[in-house]
Amino acid sequence: MKNYADVKQINYEGPKSKEPFAFKYYNPEEVIHGKKMKDQLRFALSYWHTINASGTDMFGGDTMDKTFGLSGMEMYKKKADFAFELMKKLGIKFYCFHDVDVAPVGKTMEETVKNFHEMVDYLLMKQKGTDIHPLWVTVNMFSDKVFMAGAATSPNAEVFARSCLKVKNGLDAAKKLGAEGYVFWGGREGYDTLLNTDMGLEVDNLGRFMQMAADYKKKIGFKGALYIEPKPKEPTKHQYDFDVATCCNFLRKYGLEKEFKMNIEANHATLAGHTFQHEIRVAATNGVFGSIDSNQGDLFLGWDTDQFPTNAYDTTLAMYEILMAGGFTTGGLNFDAKARRQSNTFEDILLAYIAGMDTFALGLRKAQQIIDDGRLPEFVKERYQSYASGFGKEIVDGKISFEELAAHALKTDEIKVDSGHQEYLESVLNQILFEDK
Ligand code: XUL
Ligand code: CO
């Protein structure tokens, strides 16, 4: 196998290729569903996993050195160089980061903020002359010990103020770098025991905080989207942004439904007991579909393992939902995924991205085949035919009353509900997935 340094550019070679450092399904310029694959998929690199994570887990330290033998600002500049080199090799146009991913924390808050803005200027300089910019920016309000009881939902008002400072700087950076969006992942916005928790105050404060952030976004003229990233648990036992439906309820309660969309993470969906497709569908039907954090979990581990997505069945169904939702506008597919602890070489970083990008590209191709084949969407349309005409249509149009329907039902003794044909539909899906073209 080639060395990382010898791989200059990952190119598309097609499904018959056995070259490890080539795409088999991702052909950036090829048009699928009315757009080039690169514009349909909008892949993003996640700074925290790719540029920083070094293999540490609960039981052991680093398995990979990503310090380049440097420290402080020098190290973060070298990391930014590495991030841009990697994106160019992979043909990735977007990246995502937390404030602490890109700059060192200083001895004082003022020094931390200064370091951050200096690094944002460095990133801006790296962007010049490229078509690379952030898919979204966020800030880390969960690692530092002051956030141990939450950020905007902390029982301590000083922490609420610290959260305003962090998000203000994150939004300023998003504007300066021309980010497509800004993400709020709740981190520790939740609780471990109700015995010490005023849930009502905490969630009201979260509502106040989100309103302030949305107002600040408008004040500075940041045009990107604001997203909430739902997750049911981990690190807290119960997180307030549990799933898409819970977040929709939160947004409506605080009158924020027009300001925020969802950043849906595959592994968070499964932690909430939902399929990935379910969360995308709930977002789409509520008008809040925004962006995707793409990864997969492990059925037998049960925590947020953040693995690169390689399950083509899941990516096909996810891409089908995304196409049905109208595709991405400001959003995209951010790989909130890290190479496994034992995949500890720079070559593995490339191979992990190639695997993830190819699996979503294959998913996009297969989703288009589902649409072209027509059997699945047509079955669904047919299943709801009773609402397309007659009194069914009057229900949908709000033109028939409760009493009129009751009178109709009184005269109808026999009702035949058609089969859902689940197994047949699953076999159609297999045929589309595995047919020999
Ligand atoms: C945590 C997670 C985060 C967010 C950004 O589970 O997904 O990395 O995506 O804070
Ligand atoms: Co995420």
Atom from ligand 1 closest to the CA of residue 98:
10
- Catalytic status, residue 101: yes
For the segment 77-97, what is each residue's pLDDT rounded down to a tens digit?
999 999 999 999 999 999 999
Radius of gyration for the alpha carbons in the chain, expressed in angstroms and rounded: 24
Tell me the whole-structure pTM to 2 decimals. Answer: 0.98
pLDDT at 34 (0 to 100) = 98
User: Cβ contacts of residue 244 below 8 Å, gap of 6+?
Assistant: 230, 262, 264, 279, 282, 283, 286, 288
For the segment 294-329, what is each residue's pLDDT rounded down to a tens digit?
999 999 999 999 999 999 999 999 999 999 999 999
For the segment 6-32, what is each residue's pLDDT rounded down to a tens digit?
999 999 999 999 999 999 999 999 999
Q: Is 336 in the pocket of ligand 1 (CB under 6 A)?
A: yes
Selecting among 98, 268, 274, 278, the annotated active-site residue is: 98
pLDDT band at 416 (very low <50, low <70, confident <90, very high): very high
pLDDT band at 437 (very low <50, low <70, confident <90, very high): low
For the segment 124-163, what is each residue's pLDDT rounded down to a tens digit?
999 999 999 999 999 999 999 999 999 999 999 999 999 9
pLDDT at 436 (0 to 100) = 72
For the segment 371-382, what is each residue's pLDDT rounded down to a tens digit?
999 999 999 999
Q: Are 20 and 351 in contact (CB under 8 A)?
A: yes
Residue nearest (by alpha carbon) to ligand 1 atom 7? 336
Judged against a pLDDT cut of 80, whether residue 339 lies above it is answered with: yes
- Catalytic status, residue 133: no
pLDDT band at 369 (very low <50, low <70, confident <90, very high): very high
pLDDT at 4 (0 to 100) = 97
Q: Which domains does the chain possess?
A: 25-373 (3.20.20.150), 376-434 (no CATH)
Q: Are 123 and 80 in contact (CB under 8 A)?
A: yes
pLDDT, the chain, mean: 98
Q: Is 136 in the pocket of ligand 1 (CB under 6 A)?
A: no
CA of 356 to the centre of ligand 2 (A): 15
> Within 10 Å of residue 155's Cβ, how many Cβ atoms?
14
CA of 370 to the centre of ligand 1 (A): 31
For the segment 231-242, what is each residue's pLDDT rounded down to a tens digit?
999 999 999 999
Six-digit token pair at 302? 């049960």
Q: Is 265 in the pocket of ligand 1 (CB under 6 A)?
A: yes
Residue nearest (by alpha carbon) to ligand 1 atom 8? 336
pLDDT band at 104 (very low <50, low <70, confident <90, very high): very high
* Cis upstream peptide for 230 (omega within 30°): no
CA of 336 to the centre of ligand 2 (A): 5
For the segment 48-73, what is each residue's pLDDT rounded down to a tens digit?
999 999 999 999 999 999 999 999 99
